[in-house]
Protein backbone atom coordinates (compact mmCIF):
# COMPACT_ATOMS: atom_id res chain seq x y z
CA UNK A 1 0.00 0.00 0.00
CA UNK A 2 1.12 3.58 -0.62
CA UNK A 3 -0.03 6.35 1.63
CA UNK A 4 0.05 10.16 1.39
CA UNK A 5 2.38 11.72 3.98
CA UNK A 6 0.29 14.90 3.94
CA UNK A 7 -3.40 13.84 4.03
CA UNK A 8 -3.13 10.13 4.88
CA UNK A 9 -5.06 8.92 1.81
CA UNK A 10 -4.17 5.31 0.95
CA UNK A 11 -3.73 3.74 -2.50
CA UNK A 12 -2.92 0.20 -3.68
CA UNK A 13 0.83 -0.17 -4.39
CA UNK A 14 0.27 -0.59 -8.13
CA UNK A 15 -1.55 2.75 -8.56
CA UNK A 16 0.12 4.72 -11.38
CA UNK A 17 0.53 8.01 -9.55
CA UNK A 18 3.66 9.90 -8.53
CA UNK A 19 2.02 12.05 -5.86
CA UNK A 20 -1.29 12.27 -4.03
CA UNK A 21 -4.27 14.20 -5.44
CA UNK A 22 -3.56 16.72 -2.61
CA UNK A 23 -0.02 17.13 -4.10
CA UNK A 24 1.51 15.47 -1.03
CA UNK A 25 4.40 13.00 -1.26
CA UNK A 26 3.69 9.27 -1.03
CA UNK A 27 5.17 6.72 1.37
CA UNK A 28 5.30 2.96 0.87
CA UNK A 29 3.90 0.87 3.70
CA UNK A 30 5.46 -2.57 3.51
CA UNK A 31 2.89 -4.99 4.91
CA UNK A 32 4.95 -8.07 4.04
CA UNK A 33 8.14 -7.05 5.78
CA UNK A 34 9.96 -9.80 7.69
CA UNK A 35 12.87 -9.51 10.05
CA UNK A 36 16.34 -9.67 8.55
CA UNK A 37 18.40 -12.71 9.63
CA UNK A 38 21.60 -12.23 11.65
CA UNK A 39 24.75 -11.53 9.52
CA UNK A 40 25.78 -15.21 9.40
CA UNK A 41 22.41 -16.01 7.80
CA UNK A 42 23.15 -13.62 4.92
CA UNK A 43 26.50 -15.09 3.88
CA UNK A 44 25.26 -16.99 0.82
CA UNK A 45 22.86 -14.33 -0.44
CA UNK A 46 23.30 -12.38 -3.74
CA UNK A 47 26.06 -9.77 -3.70
CA UNK A 48 23.65 -6.83 -4.17
CA UNK A 49 20.94 -4.91 -2.32
CA UNK A 50 18.61 -7.85 -3.06
CA UNK A 51 20.31 -9.83 -0.28
CA UNK A 52 17.93 -7.90 2.03
CA UNK A 53 14.83 -9.15 0.23
CA UNK A 54 12.78 -9.45 3.45
CA UNK A 55 12.71 -5.69 3.92
CA UNK A 56 12.35 -4.63 0.28
CA UNK A 57 9.01 -4.34 -1.57
CA UNK A 58 7.66 -7.73 -2.57
CA UNK A 59 8.46 -8.43 -6.25
CA UNK A 60 8.52 -11.48 -8.50
CA UNK A 61 12.03 -12.66 -9.42
CA UNK A 62 11.48 -11.90 -13.13
CA UNK A 63 10.60 -8.28 -12.37
CA UNK A 64 13.79 -7.50 -10.48
CA UNK A 65 16.04 -5.21 -12.51
CA UNK A 66 19.52 -5.41 -11.03
CA UNK A 67 23.11 -4.65 -12.01
CA UNK A 68 24.66 -5.87 -8.75
CA UNK A 69 24.17 -2.51 -6.98
CA UNK A 70 25.24 -2.13 -3.36
CA UNK A 71 27.61 -4.23 -1.24
CA UNK A 72 30.17 -1.44 -1.58
CA UNK A 73 33.40 -1.51 0.46
CA UNK A 74 34.16 0.41 3.64
CA UNK A 75 37.78 1.53 3.97
CA UNK A 76 39.68 3.19 6.79
CA UNK A 77 41.48 6.50 6.43
CA UNK A 78 43.35 8.93 8.63
CA UNK A 79 41.38 12.16 8.56
CA UNK A 80 42.57 15.29 10.39
CA UNK A 81 44.65 12.99 12.60
CA UNK A 82 41.79 10.62 13.53
CA UNK A 83 40.90 7.20 12.13
CA UNK A 84 37.61 7.27 10.19
CA UNK A 85 35.70 4.98 7.82
CA UNK A 86 34.57 5.83 4.30
CA UNK A 87 31.93 3.78 2.54
CA UNK A 88 32.80 3.88 -1.17
CA UNK A 89 29.24 3.92 -2.45
CA UNK A 90 30.35 5.56 -5.69
CA UNK A 91 31.40 2.05 -6.71
CA UNK A 92 27.80 1.18 -7.59
CA UNK A 93 27.30 0.21 -11.29
CA UNK A 94 26.64 3.72 -12.69
CA UNK A 95 29.09 5.49 -10.36
CA UNK A 96 26.67 6.71 -7.72
CA UNK A 97 24.66 5.47 -4.73
CA UNK A 98 21.44 6.24 -6.63
CA UNK A 99 21.52 2.74 -8.14
CA UNK A 100 20.20 1.34 -4.85
CA UNK A 101 16.93 3.23 -5.06
CA UNK A 102 16.66 3.11 -8.83
CA UNK A 103 16.93 -0.70 -8.91
CA UNK A 104 13.91 -0.95 -6.59
CA UNK A 105 11.95 1.84 -8.35
CA UNK A 106 12.46 0.46 -11.89
CA UNK A 107 11.70 -3.11 -10.72
CA UNK A 108 8.40 -1.91 -9.27
CA UNK A 109 7.56 0.00 -12.48
CA UNK A 110 8.37 -3.11 -14.52
CA UNK A 111 6.01 -5.13 -12.35
CA UNK A 112 3.28 -2.54 -13.05
CA UNK A 113 3.87 -2.89 -16.81
CA UNK A 114 5.25 0.64 -17.32
CA UNK A 115 7.02 0.90 -20.71
CA UNK A 116 7.99 4.57 -20.91
CA UNK A 117 9.35 6.93 -18.24
CA UNK A 118 10.59 10.48 -17.75
CA UNK A 119 12.72 11.79 -14.91
CA UNK A 120 14.50 14.99 -13.90
CA UNK A 121 17.94 14.92 -12.38
CA UNK A 122 21.09 16.91 -11.71
CA UNK A 123 22.95 14.08 -13.48
CA UNK A 124 23.71 11.01 -11.37
CA UNK A 125 20.12 9.89 -10.84
CA UNK A 126 19.43 10.49 -14.53
CA UNK A 127 22.35 8.26 -15.48
CA UNK A 128 21.16 5.60 -13.06
CA UNK A 129 17.53 5.71 -14.24
CA UNK A 130 18.71 5.59 -17.88
CA UNK A 131 20.84 2.50 -17.16
CA UNK A 132 18.13 0.55 -15.34
CA UNK A 133 15.47 1.62 -17.88
CA UNK A 134 17.74 0.28 -20.65
CA UNK A 135 18.06 -3.02 -18.80
CA UNK A 136 14.29 -3.19 -18.31
CA UNK A 137 13.62 -2.32 -21.97
CA UNK A 138 11.80 0.92 -21.10
CA UNK A 139 11.84 4.12 -23.12
CA UNK A 140 13.42 6.88 -21.09
CA UNK A 141 13.77 10.68 -21.26
CA UNK A 142 15.84 12.59 -18.70
CA UNK A 143 15.37 16.34 -18.04
CA UNK A 144 18.61 17.92 -16.81
CA UNK A 145 19.90 21.44 -16.00
CA UNK A 146 21.72 22.75 -19.10
CA UNK A 147 24.95 23.14 -17.08
CA UNK A 148 25.08 19.45 -16.04
CA UNK A 149 28.56 17.90 -16.25
CA UNK A 150 29.18 16.75 -19.86
CA UNK A 151 30.35 13.29 -18.72
CA UNK A 152 27.01 12.69 -16.97
CA UNK A 153 25.17 13.70 -20.17
CA UNK A 154 27.36 11.37 -22.23
CA UNK A 155 26.58 8.53 -19.82
CA UNK A 156 22.81 9.14 -20.00
CA UNK A 157 22.99 9.24 -23.80
CA UNK A 158 25.11 6.07 -23.92
CA UNK A 159 22.35 4.10 -22.19
CA UNK A 160 20.02 5.17 -24.99
CA UNK A 161 17.92 7.72 -23.10
CA UNK A 162 16.80 11.01 -24.61
CA UNK A 163 18.02 14.20 -22.93
CA UNK A 164 16.06 17.42 -22.49
CA UNK A 165 18.37 20.19 -21.24
CA UNK A 166 16.57 23.02 -19.42
CA UNK A 167 17.98 26.48 -18.66
CA UNK A 168 17.34 27.52 -15.06
CA UNK A 169 17.48 26.12 -11.57
CA UNK A 170 17.06 22.50 -10.48
CA UNK A 171 13.48 23.41 -9.53
CA UNK A 172 12.82 24.75 -13.07
CA UNK A 173 14.00 21.42 -14.47
CA UNK A 174 11.62 19.45 -12.23
CA UNK A 175 8.70 21.70 -13.20
CA UNK A 176 9.47 21.39 -16.92
CA UNK A 177 9.50 17.60 -16.57
CA UNK A 178 6.19 17.51 -14.66
CA UNK A 179 4.61 19.81 -17.25
CA UNK A 180 5.72 17.47 -20.05
CA UNK A 181 4.05 14.53 -18.27
CA UNK A 182 0.81 16.48 -17.82
CA UNK A 183 0.80 17.57 -21.45
CA UNK A 184 1.34 14.01 -22.65
CA UNK A 185 -2.34 13.15 -23.00
CA UNK A 186 -1.70 9.44 -23.73
CA UNK A 187 -1.11 8.60 -20.06
CA UNK A 188 1.47 6.06 -21.25
CA UNK A 189 4.51 7.84 -19.82
CA UNK A 190 5.17 7.60 -16.10
CA UNK A 191 6.98 10.30 -14.11
CA UNK A 192 9.67 8.11 -12.50
CA UNK A 193 11.03 10.81 -10.23
CA UNK A 194 13.56 9.41 -7.78
CA UNK A 195 12.77 12.33 -5.48
CA UNK A 196 9.03 11.64 -5.38
CA UNK A 197 8.93 7.87 -5.82
CA UNK A 198 8.43 6.02 -2.49
CA UNK A 199 9.99 2.80 -3.82
CA UNK A 200 13.25 4.63 -4.53
CA UNK A 201 13.52 5.45 -0.82
CA UNK A 202 12.91 1.82 0.11
CA UNK A 203 16.05 0.91 -1.85
CA UNK A 204 18.05 3.59 -0.07
CA UNK A 205 17.44 1.84 3.26
CA UNK A 206 19.92 -0.84 2.20
CA UNK A 207 22.72 1.60 3.04
CA UNK A 208 21.92 1.07 6.72
CA UNK A 209 21.59 -2.70 6.36
CA UNK A 210 24.99 -2.91 4.69
CA UNK A 211 26.70 -0.77 7.31
CA UNK A 212 25.11 -2.92 10.01
CA UNK A 213 26.14 -6.19 8.32
CA UNK A 214 29.70 -5.00 7.74
CA UNK A 215 30.11 -3.66 11.27
CA UNK A 216 28.28 -6.50 13.01
CA UNK A 217 31.06 -8.85 11.87
CA UNK A 218 33.64 -6.71 13.65
CA UNK A 219 31.20 -5.86 16.47
CA UNK A 220 31.58 -2.15 15.73
CA UNK A 221 28.67 0.10 14.92
CA UNK A 222 29.46 3.71 14.01
CA UNK A 223 28.66 6.47 16.51
CA UNK A 224 28.38 8.95 13.62
CA UNK A 225 27.24 8.48 10.03
CA UNK A 226 27.93 11.42 7.71
CA UNK A 227 25.87 11.92 4.54
CA UNK A 228 25.48 14.67 1.91
CA UNK A 229 21.94 16.03 1.47
CA UNK A 230 20.20 17.84 -1.36
CA UNK A 231 16.78 16.21 -1.52
CA UNK A 232 18.04 14.00 1.32
CA UNK A 233 17.39 10.46 0.06
CA UNK A 234 20.71 9.18 1.42
CA UNK A 235 19.95 10.63 4.87
CA UNK A 236 16.35 9.42 4.96
CA UNK A 237 17.21 5.98 3.60
CA UNK A 238 19.97 5.51 6.17
CA UNK A 239 17.75 6.78 8.99
CA UNK A 240 14.80 4.56 8.11
CA UNK A 241 17.04 1.52 7.62
CA UNK A 242 18.71 2.02 10.99
CA UNK A 243 15.30 2.54 12.59
CA UNK A 244 14.10 -0.79 11.09
CA UNK A 245 17.17 -2.50 12.54
CA UNK A 246 16.49 -1.05 15.99
CA UNK A 247 12.84 -2.16 15.77
CA UNK A 248 13.98 -5.65 14.78
CA UNK A 249 16.33 -5.82 17.75
CA UNK A 250 19.39 -6.00 15.48
CA UNK A 251 20.78 -2.65 16.68
CA UNK A 252 20.59 -1.07 20.12
CA UNK A 253 20.42 2.51 18.80
CA UNK A 254 20.53 4.62 15.66
CA UNK A 255 23.93 6.19 14.88
CA UNK A 256 23.97 9.98 15.09
CA UNK A 257 23.35 11.30 11.58
CA UNK A 258 25.39 14.25 10.34
CA UNK A 259 23.57 15.71 7.36
CA UNK A 260 25.75 17.96 5.19
CA UNK A 261 24.70 20.64 2.72
CA UNK A 262 26.67 23.15 0.64
CA UNK A 263 26.58 26.63 2.23
CA UNK A 264 25.52 28.09 -1.11
CA UNK A 265 22.29 26.07 -1.12
CA UNK A 266 21.28 24.89 2.36
CA UNK A 267 17.53 24.99 3.13
CA UNK A 268 17.65 22.11 5.62
CA UNK A 269 20.60 23.66 7.43
CA UNK A 270 18.86 27.05 7.67
CA UNK A 271 15.78 25.49 9.28
CA UNK A 272 18.01 23.50 11.66
CA UNK A 273 19.99 26.59 12.65
CA UNK A 274 16.83 28.57 13.44
CA UNK A 275 15.30 25.70 15.42
CA UNK A 276 12.39 25.52 13.01
CA UNK A 277 10.18 22.46 12.57
CA UNK A 278 9.70 22.87 8.83
CA UNK A 279 12.09 23.42 5.94
CA UNK A 280 11.33 26.43 3.74
CA UNK A 281 12.69 26.96 0.20
CA UNK A 282 15.80 29.12 -0.21
CA UNK A 283 17.29 30.93 -3.18
CA UNK A 284 20.49 28.96 -3.75
CA UNK A 285 23.59 30.21 -5.49
CA UNK A 286 26.03 28.06 -7.43
CA UNK A 287 28.03 25.30 -5.80
CA UNK A 288 30.56 22.76 -7.06
CA UNK A 289 28.43 20.23 -5.15
CA UNK A 290 25.95 20.09 -8.06
CA UNK A 291 24.32 16.86 -6.85
CA UNK A 292 22.97 18.52 -3.69
CA UNK A 293 22.08 21.95 -5.10
CA UNK A 294 18.41 21.65 -4.15
CA UNK A 295 16.63 24.80 -2.94
CA UNK A 296 13.27 23.17 -2.11
CA UNK A 297 13.62 19.54 -0.95
CA UNK A 298 10.34 17.59 -1.13
CA UNK A 299 10.97 15.63 2.08
CA UNK A 300 13.22 18.29 3.66
CA UNK A 301 11.19 18.52 6.86
CA UNK A 302 11.47 14.79 7.36
CA UNK A 303 15.22 14.88 6.73
CA UNK A 304 15.52 17.58 9.39
CA UNK A 305 13.47 15.46 11.80
CA UNK A 306 15.73 12.44 11.13
CA UNK A 307 18.82 14.48 12.08
CA UNK A 308 17.20 15.57 15.35
CA UNK A 309 15.72 12.17 16.22
CA UNK A 310 19.07 10.46 15.74
CA UNK A 311 20.61 13.05 18.07
CA UNK A 312 22.74 14.16 15.13
CA UNK A 313 23.10 17.51 13.41
CA UNK A 314 22.85 19.40 10.12
CA UNK A 315 25.87 21.29 8.75
CA UNK A 316 26.72 23.46 5.79
CA UNK A 317 30.24 23.62 4.34
CA UNK A 318 31.88 26.30 2.19
CA UNK A 319 33.18 25.94 -1.37
CA UNK A 320 36.74 26.24 -0.02
CA UNK A 321 36.14 23.40 2.45
CA UNK A 322 34.60 21.25 -0.32
CA UNK A 323 37.55 21.85 -2.68
CA UNK A 324 40.12 21.14 -0.03
CA UNK A 325 38.36 17.92 1.11
CA UNK A 326 38.12 16.69 -2.52
CA UNK A 327 41.87 17.19 -2.94
CA UNK A 328 42.65 15.56 0.41
CA UNK A 329 40.51 12.51 -0.41
CA UNK A 330 42.19 12.17 -3.82
CA UNK A 331 45.63 12.33 -2.18
CA UNK A 332 44.51 9.30 -0.18
CA UNK A 333 43.48 7.46 -3.38
CA UNK A 334 39.76 8.28 -3.18
CA UNK A 335 38.48 10.23 -6.22
CA UNK A 336 34.97 11.57 -5.63
CA UNK A 337 32.87 14.39 -7.05
CA UNK A 338 32.58 17.64 -5.03
CA UNK A 339 29.08 16.59 -3.89
CA UNK A 340 30.66 13.71 -1.99
CA UNK A 341 33.61 15.75 -0.75
CA UNK A 342 31.19 17.68 1.51
CA UNK A 343 31.30 14.59 3.74
CA UNK A 344 35.07 14.89 4.15
CA UNK A 345 34.72 18.63 4.78
CA UNK A 346 32.16 18.06 7.55
CA UNK A 347 34.19 15.30 9.18
CA UNK A 348 37.27 17.54 9.17
CA UNK A 349 35.47 20.41 10.84
CA UNK A 350 33.85 18.15 13.48
CA UNK A 351 37.19 16.53 14.33
CA UNK A 352 39.00 19.89 14.51
CA UNK A 353 36.30 21.37 16.75
CA UNK A 354 36.22 18.41 19.15
CA UNK A 355 32.67 17.23 18.38
CA UNK A 356 33.97 13.88 17.09
CA UNK A 357 36.36 12.38 19.63
CA UNK A 358 39.33 10.14 18.93
CA UNK A 359 37.67 6.95 20.13
CA UNK A 360 34.40 7.65 18.30
CA UNK A 361 33.66 5.57 15.24
CA UNK A 362 32.74 7.90 12.37
CA UNK A 363 31.70 6.70 8.92
CA UNK A 364 31.24 8.95 5.89
CA UNK A 365 29.23 7.82 2.87
CA UNK A 366 30.91 8.83 -0.40
CA UNK A 367 28.10 8.87 -2.93
CA UNK A 368 29.44 9.89 -6.37
CA UNK A 369 32.54 9.03 -8.39
CA UNK A 370 34.97 11.80 -9.44
CA UNK A 371 35.27 10.68 -13.07
CA UNK A 372 32.03 12.33 -14.22
CA UNK A 373 32.77 15.75 -12.72
CA UNK A 374 36.04 16.48 -14.55
CA UNK A 375 34.92 19.71 -16.27
CA UNK A 376 33.33 20.94 -13.07
CA UNK A 377 36.33 20.23 -10.86
CA UNK A 378 38.63 21.77 -13.46
CA UNK A 379 36.60 24.97 -13.86
CA UNK A 380 36.33 25.31 -10.05
CA UNK A 381 40.11 25.01 -9.85
CA UNK A 382 39.94 21.90 -7.63
CA UNK A 383 42.08 19.69 -9.89
ZN1 LIG B 1 -2.69 13.52 0.08
Q: Tell me, in angstroms, the distance from the centre of ligand 1 to residue 19's CA.
A: 8
Domains 74-97+199-379 and 98-196 share a fold: yes
CA nearest neighbour of 140 among 165, 156, 116: 116
How crowded is residue 318: how many other Cβ atoms within 10 Å of its Cβ? 15
- Give the integer Cα–Cα distance in Å for 72 and 334: 14
Q: How far is the CA of 5 from the centre of ligand 1 (A)?
A: 7
Say which residues have a Cβ less than 8 Å from residue 10's Cβ, sequence separation at least 6: 1, 2, 3, 4, 29
Distance 22 CA to ligand 1 centre (A): 4
Q: Report the separation in Å between the CA atom of 283 and the middle of ligand 1, taken as the mean of its atom positions.
A: 27
| Residue 29 alpha carbon to ligand 1 centre in Å | 15
Going from the Cα of 275 to the center of ligand 1, the distance in angstroms, rounded, reads 27
Q: What is the DSSP letter of 361?
A: -
Which residues are paired to 103 by β-bridges?
A: none
DSSP conformational letter for 26: E
3-state secondary structure 166-229: ECCCHHHHHHHHHHHHHHCCCCCEEECCCCCCHHHHHHHCHHHHHHHHHHHHCCCCCCEEEEEC
Domain ranges of the chain: 74-97+199-379, 98-196
Q: What is the CATH number of domain 74-97+199-379?
A: 3.40.50.1100
Give residue 24 CA to ligand 1 midpoint distance, Å.
5
Question: Using CA atoms, how far apart are residues 346 and 226, in angstroms rounded to an integer?
Answer: 8
Between CA 130 and CA 24 the distance in angstroms is 26
Given a cut of 70, the residues of the chain with pLDDT beneath it are: none
pLDDT, tens digit (0-9, with 9 covering 90-100), for 77-88:
999 999 999 999
Protein residues placing their CB within 5 Å of the ion ligand 1: 4, 6-7, 9, 20, 22, 24
3-class DSSP state for residue 120? strand
CA 26 to centroid of ligand 1, rounded, Å: 8
| pLDDT in the model for residue 348 | 98
What spacing in Å lies between the alpha carbon of 39 and ligand 1's midpoint? 38
162 vs 154: CA distance, rounded Å: 11
In this predicted structure, what is the pLDDT of residue 374? 78
In this structure, whether the domain defined by 98-196 belongs to CATH 3.40.50.1100 is answered with yes
Amino acid sequence: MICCARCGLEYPSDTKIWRCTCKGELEYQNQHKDNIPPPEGLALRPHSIWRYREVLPRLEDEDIVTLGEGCTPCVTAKWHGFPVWFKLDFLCPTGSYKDRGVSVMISHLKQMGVRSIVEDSSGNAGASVAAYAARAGMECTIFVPSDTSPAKLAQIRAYGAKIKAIDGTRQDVAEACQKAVEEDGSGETFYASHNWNPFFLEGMKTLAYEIWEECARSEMIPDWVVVPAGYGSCALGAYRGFLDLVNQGRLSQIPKLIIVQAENCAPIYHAYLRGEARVAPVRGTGTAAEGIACSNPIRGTEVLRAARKSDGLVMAVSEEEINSAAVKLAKDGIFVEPTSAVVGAALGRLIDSGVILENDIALGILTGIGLKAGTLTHSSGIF
